[in-house]
Amino acid sequence: MNIGFLGLGGMGAAMAANLVKAGHQVRVWNRSAAALEPLLALGATAAADPVAAFDGEVVISMLADDAATRAVIFDSGALASAKPGLIHLGMATLSVDLVGELVARHRERGVVYVAAPVFGRTDVAAAGKLNILAAGPAQAIATVQPLLDAMGQKTWPLGEDPLRAAVVKIAGNFMIASAIEAMGESSALVKRFGVEPAQLLEIMSGTLFDAPVYRNYGAQIAAQRYEPAAFRLVLGLKDVGLALSAGQGRHVPLPFASVLRDNLLEAIAQGDGERDWAALAQVAMRRSGQD
C-alpha cells in the first residue's frame, strides 16, 4: 500500500518502521529531518513536505498534540491538496474538539478521517504490539486493517464516529495517571510505617492489581526509575487536560482529573516535566517529607 507518514517521534518512528518491514511503500516526513535517516535506511522514502505525504492511498499522522496537528494538516496546505478518496489515519492523542474539526474539514474535501489512537509505549510500538482504537467509516477501516495489523496486536472497533476512539483514548490515559497517583500516595503511606514501597507494589501488582499498568509503572516507582522517559510527564499533563476539556464540553464532572492536573503541575514545577510520567508518584513522597 502507498502510505504517507507524518511525525517520527519515538512512537511514530517505530510504527513507520513496522509498516516498511511489512512491505508497504512508505513516504515519511518529520519537522526534524534527522529523524528520517533510520527509516530511509530501512527502505522508506522522504516526503519533501506534508503535501507530498498526502499524495497516496493512505496518510498516517502521529503528531505531538493539537497545535502540531493543526499546523501540519491544515496550515501547511496538506489537507487542501488531498485528492478525494484518500484515507487519513489520525493515530495521535488529540482533543475531541480538534477531532470533530478534522472530521468536518476532511468531509469537505472528500477525504475520509479515521481516528486510530493507540495504547502502548515506544517499546510496545517497536514490537508491533500496540492496542489500536479505531472509529470511522467501516469500509475505510477494512481497507487500512493490514496497516493496523502491522503496527498492533489488536484493533478495537468503536463504531463510525471518530470521536468515540478519541474519547476512549483520553479516558484510558486518565485511568493510567490515576493509577500512578494511587501507587504514589500508597507508597508514601507505607514508607512512613517502615514498609518499603517496592514490597507493597510487588504484593499489589501480583495479587489485586495484576495488570500491565500496575506491574510496569509499579516497578518504575519502586526503583524510582524515571529516565529515560518512555512517556514524558508534560504529555501526561496535556492528556489530563484533554479529559477535563472533554468533560467540560459535555457537562461531565471529573473531580479527580482536577487533582491530577494540579499534581502534574507541581511535578513540573519541581523539575520532573521531562522525566517519565511515573515520576508523578514523587509528588506524594515530597509532600510527606520522604523524598
Task: Name the active-site residue from 21, 129, 154, 169.
Answer: 169
- Supply angle C-alpha 173, 6, 39, rounded to 5: 105
Alpha-carbon torsion 160, 166, 169, 175, what sign?
A: negative
CA 7 distance to own-chain centroid: 12
How far apart, in whole angstroms, are the C-alpha atoms of residue 246 and residue 235?
17
Is 83 known to be catalytic? no
Strands 45-46 and 58-61 turn out to be: unpaired
Question: Reduced to 3 states, what is the DSSP secondary structure of residue 193?
Answer: coil
**Do 4 and 59 meet the contact criterion of CB atoms below 8 Å apart?**
yes
Terminal Cα-to-Cα distance of the chain (whole angstroms): 52
Cα dihedral 94/61/232/48 (nearest 10): -140
**Do 28 and 45 meet the contact criterion of CB atoms below 8 Å apart?**
yes
Which grid cell sits at 159? 463504531
Question: Reduced to 3 states, what is the DSSP secondary structure of residue 135?
Answer: strand
Closest CA to 55 of 4, 127, 111: 4
Q: Which residues are catalytic?
A: 169
